[in-house]
Chain A
Amino acid sequence: MERRNFLKGLGAASLVAVTTPTFINAKEEAAKAAPKGPNALSYDNAIRVIADGKEIKVSDKVDLVVPEIAENGAVVPVKVNVDHPMEENNYVKAIHILAKENGNARCADVMLTPLNGKGYFATRVKLAKTQDVVAVVELSDGTFLSANKSVKVTIGGCG
């Protein structure tokens, strides 16, 4: 009796195992199909890596300059100016540039020293679509500041 029930249970379980995956896996399959670059990393995870849980304060001391509309998402100029001294024990230690909706949210980081004279960094990035560009600034005392601006992209920057 017990063996028969056990086998019945097995049969029912295998039926369930065969039928439910179609709902669960559809989303996974779509995610697998989307092309992933070598360094795919979400914005939230990138922030975790950069600030390790520390508070990041939005500050107008971080002047993030980006175009409002980028005609070509493959070449978007980004400039960051930080209103902060660059002295031996008080300086802008790092500027991180991120793009919130890119498959890899990280674009470029610069580690600065007092010899730079100013907390400034500029580069050109690819934006896959309209999104926020974010500058996360690390000061020598361990404080994190940030600024973000939206860039409208008419032609996406990843090909």
Chain B
Amino acid sequence: MAEKRRAMVKIKPKKYNVGDTVKVDFIIIHPMDTGMQKDKKTGEIKPAKYIDNVTFKLDGKPFSQMKVWETVSTNPYFSVNLKVPGKGKITVEYSDNTGEKGSKSKKLKPKG
């Protein structure tokens, strides 16, 4: 499956310095199907398909690791803080229960 899911990594506020604690948000378009709902068109149960792991990394090193269940909302949103150590690259990696994997990155660019 080569289709890339729409996802976004956001850093808030937009302007920050080394030593500041920023908010890092990740949001991704994903059904988070529980495996208990019927497809309205076919009447068949939609199989469970939900993100089960999310890792936030800074320059390849994990700083937040999440375990996620099907009880998290569709198009899931996750947010943590990061104390800015300097310039770098934030990468958020995810995987779901069907083996699908993906990632999204955002540069960490402190003003000072």
Binding site for B on A (CB under 8 A): 35-39, 74-76, 86, 99, 102, 104, 106-118, 120-126, 157-159
Contact = CB atoms under 8 A, between A and B. Distances in A.
B70 A39 contact: yes
Given A38-B35, A108-B66, A125 B81 contact: no
Interface of B: 21, 23, 34-38, 48, 58, 62-74, 76-83, 85, 97
Nearest to A159: B37
A125 B76 CA distance: 8
A118 B21 contact: yes
A43 B82 CA distance: 31
25 contacts: A37-B48, A38-B34, A39-B69, A75-B74, A107-B69, A107-B71, A108-B72, A109-B68, A110-B65, A112-B63, A112-B64, A112-B80, A113-B62, A115-B85, A116-B81, A116-B83, A117-B82, A117-B83, A120-B81, A123-B72, A123-B76, A125-B71, A125-B73, A158-B34, A159-B34
Contacts of A35: 36
A122 B12 CA distance: 14
> Interface centre among B71, B74, B97, by most A CB within 10 Å?
B71
Contacts of A39: 69-70
**What 8 A-B pairs are tightest by C-beta distance, nearest first?**
A117-B83, A117-B21, A122-B79, A124-B73, A159-B37, A118-B81, A115-B63, A111-B65
B66 A109 contact: yes
A99 B23 CA distance: 25
A99 B72 CA distance: 11
A117 B24 CA distance: 12
A37 B37 CA distance: 10
Contacts of B63: 112-113, 115-116
A108 B37 CA distance: 21
B80 A121 contact: yes
Nearest to B26: A123
A71 to B, nearest CB: 13
Nearest to B19: A117
A109 B37 CA distance: 24
Contacts of B62: 113
